Amino acid sequence: MAKDRVAFCLNFCKAKLMLRFFHWLVNKLRFRRLALSSHVYLLEQFSICQGSYSNWKHDPRPVIFVMYSGTTYTHGINVNYLNSSDKAWLARTLYLLKRGHQILDGVAMYRFFKLKRYNIIKTAYRVYFTALLNVKPVCSGLAIIKHVYPSTNPWIAQLNEMLKAEEVSVNLTEGRPQIAYDPAELQTRVMQAVNSVPIQAKSVAPYAQKATWLRK
């Protein structure tokens, strides 16, 4: 009986290893075939793309916030893996960064996410083979894209509404950021500037009593 169990375990391990090798070989050949037979299209950095991925393991149709895209690999955040709280934070952050026309590279953006919202990096950061991605931009994100494709994803639709041209505008001709404020908000800012007091004219009220820990 002991010999039969040992033989069964050995055969099971061999079959499992052969299955893993078969999957690896299929993926390797599929990647090589697609990479040699088709053009590699780089994705726009900091845009959000949606489509299909040939070498998928858990998500065949990712929604990717592109951090970097090269001829071999594409790094990004798969929004499908984020919870509702992280999605809301990401949308608000992209809105504020684009409204303020903040210029970041991929490394700085990665460090920013890791510092401010580590769960996004831990949960949704992925690396894809660029040649196996068949995706299209559905949201401009922080990039400057003239045309985006429609998406049925409600989070994408909400983000596109936040990043509308009348709310976030960039002066492309002069190369300078142009922030569009709501008329009521602009009037409030003007009134605050008019009623402000110069710092030289401000006075500091004296302390009512000395600190109790100071000696007399």
- Per-residue pLDDT 10s for the chain (216 aa) are 666 666 767 776 777 667 776 666 556 555 554 444 457 789 999 999 999 999 999 999 999 999 999 999 999 999 999 999 999 999 999 998 888 888 788 888 999 999 999 999 999 999 999 999 999 999 999 988 888 999 999 999 999 988 875 444 544 444 444 444 455 665 665 566 556 555 455 554 554 444 444 455
Q: How far is CA 151 from the centre of its chain?
A: 17
Domains of the chain, residue spans? 38-189
d(CA 90, CA 117): 9
Helix (H) or strand (E) segment spanning residue 78 = strand 73-78
d(CA 75, CA 62): 12
pTM of the model: 0.62
How distant, in Å, are the alpha carbons of 46, 103, 181 from that of 106? 8, 10, 28
SS3 for 169?
strand
Q: CA torsion angle for 182, 87, 68, 97 (degrees, to 10)? A: 20
